[in-house]
Structure 1
Amino acid sequence: MSSNPTPGLARFNAAADRTARAALREACASEAWGSRLLERRPYPSTDALFAASDAAMAELTAADLAEAMAGHPPIGRPTPGDATSSREQRGMSAAGDDLKAEMLALNLAYQEKFGHVFLICATGRTGEQLRDAARNRLDNTPEQEREIVRTELGKINRIRLGRLVEDAADPADAAEGARP
């Protein structure tokens, strides 16, 4: 990534706290994560922003992780009108009815066992890969899953932050563009 601020990162750094917080909320539903990133502005580079995101993710409590996960729809069922989740879950859009039904059953089994949505960085994964990951993770302990979820959220946050600071003309536009 870049060692100098991109125009998008410069706009994020200069944005009013309320505007930047709204854009961060679109990237991750955890208030604690967003607050930690706001506190550390301005960022000299995208790498510095990613490092701050990773550090904030590592500090999240179980309640903070639950708040972050609540912002993610189940795999195979993106929130209607949510361009971000639809884009990220594109691998399931071409799945046949049998695979979609199996993914629904796996989502329900996972949620019953762990008490939260099956969370994975779905970007670039096929429906079959998502199904296989859900199957495999059902065998984990809650402690193992909490750390896997933390890692997966970190990946998702990096992708979303990258889009925010590289593509967005304005942090408010990024927040609005994530949910048309």
Structure 2
Amino acid sequence: MPGLAWFNSAGEADARTTLHELCAARAWGSALLARRPYESPEELLHASDKATAALGAAGVADAMAGHPPIGRPKPGDLASAREQRGMVGASEELKADMLELNLAYQDRFGHVFLICATGLSAGQLRDAVRHRIDNSPEREREIVRQELAKINRLRLTRLMEKGDPTA
């Protein structure tokens, strides 16, 4: 895969910047950089899973800081806009529900609602936050870590498929 070759051979600063765009947790990026070069995409994805699982509370908080609320991707954040595309055609009522649910979730857990939104409809996203808002904080931390791992895998896979991100 062209992106894996680029990642393995890129200068540390370029590779670190690219990883930070994929996941804002610096510890995650550092862990992936430390194991270069990777022989296969699967090896890189496995390293990502391990690095995500190893994130402490501060690392997860760093990662979360890089994710906008569902339904409100940051202007110019193409990855989030692509991943949240299920919200694009949502009715104004559903968008208002999501805003209310996002705020309630943030009040309860202290961070944005994180879900691997790729391929999910607006209704599925709304239902997911409704379902998860009653979780215990411990259960929700576990789910957030799982969702973060999925997002990191999707973003790394996209990087490996497209090649040099600076081209």
TM-score range, shorter chain: over 0.9
Are 2:166 and 1:172 equivalent residues in the alignment?
yes
Query: 1:135 maps to which residue?
Result: 130
Query: 1:178 maps to which residue?
Result: none
User: What is the distance in 2 between the residues matched to 1:41 and 1:75?
Assistant: 33
CA contact 2:23–2:66 (8 Å) conserved in 1 = yes
User: What is the distance in 1 between the residues matched to 2:146 and 2:103?
Assistant: 22
User: What is the distance in 2 between the residues matched to 1:137 and 1:8?
Assistant: 35
Deviation by residue 1:85-138 (Cα, 9 ceiling, x = unmatched): 110000001000000000000000000000000000000000000000000000
User: What is the distance in 2 between the residues matched to 1:114 and 1:156?
Assistant: 20
Deviation by residue 1:121-179 (Cα, 9 ceiling, x = unmatched): 000000000000000000101111111000000000000001111113x1434xxxxxx
Count, aligned residues: 167
Match of 2:40 among 20, 23, 45: 45
User: What is the distance in 2 between the residues matched to 1:59 and 1:8?
Assistant: 25
Within 5 Å, which residues of 2 pair with 1:123-162?
A: 123-162=118-157
Which segments of 5 or more consecutive residues in structure 1 lack a partner in the other structure? 1-5, 174-180
User: What is the distance in 1 between the residues matched to 2:70 and 2:99?
Assistant: 8
Within 5 Å, which residues of 2 pair with 1:62-101?
A: 62-101=57-96
User: What is the distance in 1 between the residues matched to 2:166 and 2:129?
Assistant: 34
Stretches (4+) displaced over 3 A? none
> What CA RMSD, in Å, does the superposition of the two structures yield over aligned residues?
0.8
User: What is the distance in 1 between the residues matched to 2:8 and 2:159?
Assistant: 11
CA contact 2:2–2:162 (8 Å) conserved in 1 = no
Q: Identity of counterpart residues, as a percentage?
A: 65
If the length of structure 2 is used for normalisation, what is the TM-score?
Answer: 0.98
The SS at the match of 1:13 is: helix
User: What is the distance in 1 between the residues matched to 2:100 and 2:74?
Assistant: 18
